[in-house]
Amino acid sequence: MTKIAVIGSGLIGRAWCIVFARAGFEVNVWDQFPLQTSQAMAFIADRLPELRAAGLLADEPETVLARIHPVASMWEAVRDADYIQENGPERADIKRPLFEELERAARPDAIIASSSSGIPASAFTEHLKTRNRCLIAHPVNPPYLIPLVEICPAPWTDPAVTARTREIMIEAGQVPATVKKEVEGFALNRLQGALLAEAFRLVADDVISPADLDALVKDGLGLRWSFMGPLETIDLNAPGGLADYCNRYGPLYATMQEQMQPLEWDAALVDRLHADRRAELPANMQPVRQEWRDRRLMALLAHKAGQPE
């Protein structure tokens, strides 16, 4: 069985621990702050019974928890690991020396992946002697409830490393999507960014209220997108498939694209949207709503797992 090392036990690191241990992997976890690791283990211990109750954990929680091993040093975490998942701060100046340390400590054949959500691997691995084994494995938060993982190699990443990372993610129960070349924000955040850009523009132009805009997605587009992608959606929305849809609606979309000029997210707009959200959800209720979100995701994931493709 592939041995895993998780470096950094914050929100993403502890979630990766659940992903890999749930799938049967032995996982070493290390953080430069021991208290962070202790808090991570407590979080995992609390969350595993909920996953079991939702039908998202095949083994008993105690069995899964026993596969996660907090260790005292980075060297101890990675010395026998086949695959390393780094979860440091989203800053290239921090990741660069961290990857230097990982390169020195890890076995020469170990894959070193970063959970970076926007910084390409080329920004912090170019100087490494074994840069060919480094890449991005960008999860969607929280990855134990949302299985998509973007696999984003650097220009020098060995194709075999990319392929093996995909295999590991599939073995872990995740859904890998390979971004074949480096682009700013990878692919998922570019899609999300396009939707957010138009959402902010529609509110700024007073076309729709923030609450009604959210409704467009959660009670409209999102229902389809929870089990179909945008290309399959339009393929099924016209009698003759995707080409027919494009022939019917292509001119409309072309006109809309011309109207979608870049809009700066200035302080006034951000303050307005933030105030609207706090009126809808007071700051002290955010943790409660986050728990609600995760339980709804559990129910959705359990439902999807029981349905045929």
pLDDT of res. 305: 87
Where helices occur in 209-306 by DSSP H, the ranges are: 210-216, 222-225, 230-236, 242-259, 267-280, 286-305
Residues of the chain with CATH 1.10.1040.10: 189-305
Q: What does pTM read for this prediction?
A: 0.93
Q: pLDDT for 33-68, tens place per residue? A: 999 999 999 999 999 999 999 999 999 999 999 999
Residue with tokens 């070493």: 28
pLDDT of residue 4: 98
Whether pLDDT at 307 is above 90: no
CATH 3.40.50.720 placement within the chain: 3-178
The span from the first CA to the last CA of the chain, in angstroms, equals 28
- 144: nearest Cα among 23, 4, 306: 23
Question: Using 50, 70 and 90 to split pLDDT, how confident is the model at 306?
Answer: confident
- Per-residue pLDDT averaged across 226-253, rounded? 96
- Give the mean model confidence (pLDDT) for residues 269-279: 95
Torsion of the alpha carbons at 141, 142, 146 and 152, rounded to the nearest 10: 50
133-175 pLDDT tens trace: 999 999 999 999 999 999 999 999 999 999 999 999 999 999 9
Q: Give residue 246's pLDDT.
A: 97
Q: Give the pLDDT of residue 309.
A: 75
pLDDT given for residue 1 in this prediction: 80
Task: Write the pLDDT tens digit of every residue in 200-222.
Answer: 999 999 999 999 999 999 999 99
Asked whether the beta carbons of 78 and 84 are under 8 A apart, the reply is: yes
- The pLDDT value recorded for residue 172 is 98
pLDDT at 133: 98
Judged against a pLDDT cut of 80, whether residue 303 lies above it is answered with yes
Any idea which architecture 3-178 has in CATH?
Answer: 3-Layer(aba) Sandwich (3.40)
Class of the CATH domain delimited by 189-305: mainly alpha
Within a 10 A sphere around the Cβ of 119, how many other Cβ atoms? 18
For β-strands 134-139 and 148-153, DSSP reports them as antiparallel
Kindly tell me if the per-residue pLDDT of 273 is higher than 90. yes
Residue 8: name the closest of 93, 107, 78 by CA. 78
Q: Show the CA angle centred on residue 114, arms to residues 195 and 173, nearest 5°.
A: 75
The CA-atom distances, in angstroms, between 36 and each of 40, 98, 108 are 6, 18, 28
**Do the Cβ atoms of 71 and 28 come closer than 8 Å?**
yes
The mean predicted confidence, pLDDT, of the chain is 96
pLDDT at 189 over 80: yes
Instruction: Tell me what the mean pLDDT of segment 229-247 comes to.
Output: 97
